[in-house]
């Protein structure tokens, strides 16, 4: 819960978080039983936000990167946040690393 759309949620108390989650579970899935245990983790600014201009920033990074062969960037800050995007990006990047190492 929370995220970039509801940043204030991170400041809710544990009991308020639990209450809201249980309310959602009841409404969405019909689950009304009390949980056996509850763990709450707060991740501040957990997920990069691709704001307007992200494409241009990526292009600028790629251009500047040409002056620094051997440095490779990958991860959720660039071309996709989901795990599947990150895995695909990591595979592409590791292929680029292999090509670089074979050349040098």
Ligand X SMILES: Cc1cc2nc3c(=O)[nH]c(=O)nc-3n(C[C@H](O)[C@H](O)[C@H](O)COP(=O)(O)OP(=O)(O)OC[C@H]3O[C@@H](n4cnc5c(N)ncnc54)[C@H](O)[C@@H]3O)c2cc1C
**76 touching ligand X, by CB under 6 A:** yes
Does residue 81 touch ligand X according to CB under 6 A? Answer: yes
Question: What are the structure tokens assigned to 13, written together?
Answer: 């108390």
- List Cα–Cα distances, 43 to 3, 7, 10, in angstroms: 9, 11, 8
Residue with tokens 């680029």: 96
CB of 48 to ligand X, least distance (A): 8
Residue with tokens 């983790």: 41
How far apart CA 46 and CA 4 sit, in angstroms, is 9
Q: Does 93 sit near ligand X (CB under 6 A)?
A: no
- Min CB(103)–ligand X separation in Å: 26
Residue nearest to ligand X (CB): 75
Q: Which two tokens stand for residue 50?
A: 């691709």
Minimum distance from residue 70 beta carbon to ligand X (Å): 17
Map residue 18 onto helix, strand or coil. Answer: helix
Binding letters toward ligand X, positions 22-61, x by CB under 6 A: ---------------------x--xx--------------
Residues that bind ligand X (CB under 6 A): 43, 46-47, 75-76, 81-84, 86
């Amino acid at each position: 819960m929370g995220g970039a759309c509801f940043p204030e949620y991170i400041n809710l108390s544990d009991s308020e978080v639990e209450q809201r989650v249980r309310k959602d579970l009841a409404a969405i899935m019909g689950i009304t039983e009390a949980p056996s245990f509850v763990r709450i983790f707060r991740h501040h600014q957990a997920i990069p936000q691709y704001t307007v201009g992200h494409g241009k920033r990526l292009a600028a990074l790629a251009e500047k990167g040409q002056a620094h062969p051997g440095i490779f960037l990958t991860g959720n800050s660039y071309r996709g946040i989901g795990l599947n995007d990150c895995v695909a990006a990591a595979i592409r990047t590791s292929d680029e690393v292999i090509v670089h190492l074979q050349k040098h």
